[in-house]
Structure 1
Amino acid sequence: MIILAVFLSVITSSSSLYEVVTAAADPQVPCFFIFGDSLNDCGNNNDADTKAKANYKPYGIDYPDGPTGRFTNGRTAVDFLAEHLGFGNPIPPFTTAKGDSILQGINYASGSAGILDETGKHLGKNVPLGTQVQNHQKTFSKIAAMKGGKDSATKHLNGCIYYMSIGSNDFLNNYFLPKQYKTSKLYSVDKFTVHLATTYRDKIKTLHHYGARKIAVVGVGKVGCVPHMMDMFGTKGSKCIQNVNSAAQNFNKQLKKLVVDLNKELKDAKLIYINSYGMSDGDPTILGFKYITSGCCKSREDGQCVEGETPCSNRKEYVFWDSFHPTETGHKAVADRTYKSLLPSDSDPFDLHSLAALDIGVKSGRRAEETSERGLEL
């Protein structure tokens, strides 16, 4: 079913080694905008006509508000990143964000969504990347009204972090489901990853037109190691499904190239690449994980938790919560390494903490104003 990957930390004897303490002060950036899939969804799918939703128990069993639509037992990676960046509250979902809260950011992520519009639609409705970007254009207009104009809105947004983590479903809920989707017949893996990256690039450039200057692009993790995928397709004696992981690696190469190319093209912006695939290397037992190929909750046929079932009590020992998504502990491991790199390979050219510290000022509000008036093709 939904998305991605195994996020594990490595070579440290304790996850607390990379605990980041945030002082009670102003956030490091004015706002934090999140684009993605069920790894980041915090409630956007709750009222959608889809199987890809998590607003029921045992989801949220360790979250203060209970089930909220987060596809895990507690907080997600972006919840931890918001804390690291100094925000006092989680970034709200687009469906419920209102008033002045939008000035500090919005979470647009949607379970089962992908870069391509059709991805995940066999599960029901979702909000693909293109629509998430369109939703941000609406946010831009609202911020412009609050700030007294498009120039002021652009200046505000120039300092914000834009976090983009999407693409796993384009493989798991599209390319590798030939009975539901034709993409594997239309494209080789190489051509498909180029198609994804080209589409992704267009969306990033649209965001840039609407003020985005600090952009984190997160690579796809080891989707071939997801328990549901291994159960469905079999591993043929390997630890994971190698051809699925190879496709993810191929796509990540395209993403890294995209980041390099856009850093050259967009002189007034900075993009970084987060190597989630590489963070999955190493021995997870070093961090105290004991259960690596099974989820903590009893899963339905589609890989999500069975509603109302009692999950395992030793949740910190599990990498996976259901048959697709990490536990809160897994989410925290990747968030800590995203914010401050543990290894040089974790991010390129630097980590999210360094991106937040960059001084990127507005060059001209004219581009945003012209773009807003004529619109961009998505």
Structure 2
Amino acid sequence: MGFYVQALILMLLATTVLSFVGSVPQVPCYFVFGDSLMDNGNNNNLVTEAKANYPPYGIDFPDGPTGRFSNGRNTADVVAQLLGFENSIPPFATVKREEIVRGVNYASGAAGILDITALHLGGRISMNQQLTNHATTISRLVDLIGNGSLAQVQEYLNKCLYTVTVGSNDYINNYFIPQYYQTSSLYTTEQFAEVLIEQYSKQLSKLYEYGARKFGISGVGYIGCAPALMARFKTNTCVDAANGAVIQFNAKLVSTLGDLESKLSGAKFIFLDPPLGYSSYFNVTDIPCCNVLTTVSEGQCAPNQIPCSDRGNHIFWDGFHPTESISLVDGARTYEALAPLYSLENKGSFPVSDADYSD
């Protein structure tokens, strides 16, 4: 791990520990929606190219390959840890009945805002299906903690944290692969952003109807600088067309979140900026740490290959996803940005070292 990352985490650890009292997490539950950046095992049993439950994924995670598209923790794991949860938020695919009270991770590799996104990769759980899965969770909570009352469960959910990280696949695995999808011939990038935002707004409104009030919404990262996308476009520099497209999407998303907050009583939306500037702190910025595939599942690690040994100096673990070092930084940054959404009176415990954290 680079010196900057160590310093940032140690500083955040110190300030967090000093502010914690008791052993209760800062929010009663944490629900995670999104794509492979947050997936922690929901795709493992799907018939899909988009899965990461094999080595070298998980080489630095206590439980080995779990379905995380990383060498170790992802951002959702870090946020959960900083919020004071003892373990990571469990995936919907394997969550136990008694675990749903503290939250569920619904994220799925290759998931998009649009249902058709990444169809060529096989199974994936789109944002709409993740909402359906959340409705299933709510029905279970009605029996578990609501004494049969949906209103009582929704009152509980009002206090919980919801983060959503979705949209990149609608570009990577839809708009920018015209051999599979017609969207780039049907829409300009601005029009496509409008199509996505219209659907996304409905999805966030549905979460509100279910009881969500505290939202952390991630902007789409600068996908044009991902090694796999540069390889697809046969260039050694960031793909301006891809980055320009997501800049349009993010601008419309910020505006839409403001509109939703003004319309939906009691809702609070925080836009989470995509990460920038990490190249100043990591020695290797555009080379994947693992050997990547060039087949349909382009950019993913080739199975059972030995990855680089200096993983702490890399931004990219595979062709699209960050290393754990980046997730530590991004998780800390996300946690700080979400501060208005978690209670200052309800603090939780924080592990004293990385070794204390595992599933």
- On whether the aligned pair clears a TM of 0.5, the verdict is yes
The aligned residue for residue 340 of structure 2 is 354
The aligned residue for residue 296 of structure 1 is 289
**Cα deviation, residue 100, structure 1:** 1.4
SS at match of 1:162: strand
**Cα deviation, residue 177, structure 1:** 0.4
Cα gap change, 1:283 to 1:51, in 2 (>3 Å): closer
State whether residues 18 and 336 of structure 1, in contact with CA within 8 Å, keep that contact through their aligned partners in structure 2.
no
State whether residues 9 and 329 of structure 2, in contact with CA within 8 Å, keep that contact through their aligned partners in structure 1.
no
Cα gap change, 1:283 to 1:214, in 2 (>3 Å): closer
The aligned residue for residue 145 of structure 1 is 143
Cα RMSD over matched residues?
Answer: 1.8
The C-alpha deviation readout for 1:160-195, integer Å capped at 9, x for no partner, is 001000000000000000010011111111111011
Would you say 1:69 and 2:29 are equivalent positions? Answer: no
State whether residues 5 and 329 of structure 2, in contact with CA within 8 Å, keep that contact through their aligned partners in structure 1.
no
Structure 1's consecutive aligned runs of 4 or more residues displaced over 6 angstroms after TM superposition are none
Matches within 5 A, 1:172-183: 172-183=172-183
Give, as a single letter, the amino acid of the residue that structure 2 aligns with 1:211. Answer: G
Cα gap change, 1:185 to 1:300, in 2 (>3 Å): same
Matches within 5 A, 1:175-324: 175-235=175-235, 239-276=237-274, 279-280=275-276, 282=277, 284-285=279-280, 287=281, 289-301=282-294, 302-324=298-320
Structure 2: runs of 5+ lacking an equivalent: 346-359
State whether residues 234 and 241 of structure 1, in contact with CA within 8 Å, keep that contact through their aligned partners in structure 2.
no
State whether residues 297 and 322 of structure 1, in contact with CA within 8 Å, keep that contact through their aligned partners in structure 2.
yes
The C-alpha deviation readout for 1:260-299, integer Å capped at 9, x for no partner, is 00110012111110011xx31x3623x2x11111111111
* Counterparts of 2:340 and 2:150, CA distance in 1: 27
The C-alpha deviation readout for 1:42-76, integer Å capped at 9, x for no partner, is 00000100010000001000000000000000000
**Cα deviation, residue 14, structure 1:** 4.0
Cα gap change, 1:116 to 1:329, in 2 (>3 Å): same
* Counterparts of 2:205 and 2:344, CA distance in 1: 20
State whether residues 61 and 67 of structure 1, in contact with CA within 8 Å, keep that contact through their aligned partners in structure 2.
yes
The C-alpha deviation readout for 1:223-272, integer Å capped at 9, x for no partner, is 0000001011033x7x3100100001000011101110011001211111
Cα gap change, 1:14 to 1:130, in 2 (>3 Å): same
State whether residues 26 and 344 of structure 2, in contact with CA within 8 Å, keep that contact through their aligned partners in structure 1.
no
The C-alpha deviation readout for 1:136-182, integer Å capped at 9, x for no partner, is 01111111111211111011100000100000000000000001001
SS at match of 1:273: strand
**Cα deviation, residue 300, structure 1:** 1.1
* Counterparts of 1:103 and 1:265, CA distance in 2: 28
* Counterparts of 1:304 and 1:205, CA distance in 2: 33
SS at match of 1:92: coil
Would you say 1:46 and 2:39 are equivalent positions? Answer: no
**Cα deviation, residue 77, structure 1:** 0.3
The aligned residue for residue 35 of structure 1 is 33
Give, as a single letter, the amino acid of the residue that structure 2 aligns with 1:232. Answer: R
The C-alpha deviation readout for 1:116-153, integer Å capped at 9, x for no partner, is 00101111110000000011011111111112111110
SS at match of 2:128: helix
Structure 1: runs of 5+ lacking an equivalent: 1-8, 341-350, 360-378
* Counterparts of 1:265 and 1:320, CA distance in 2: 39
* Counterparts of 1:13 and 1:59, CA distance in 2: 22
* Counterparts of 1:312 and 1:33, CA distance in 2: 33
SS at match of 2:285: strand
SS at match of 1:294: coil
Cα gap change, 1:283 to 1:116, in 2 (>3 Å): closer
Q: Which moved further from structure 2: 72-81 or 295-304?
A: 295-304
**Cα deviation, residue 358, structure 1:** 7.7
Would you say 1:57 and 2:47 are equivalent positions? Answer: no
* Counterparts of 2:306 and 2:205, CA distance in 1: 45
* Counterparts of 1:48 and 1:99, CA distance in 2: 21
Select which of 9, 18, 28 maps to 1:16.
9
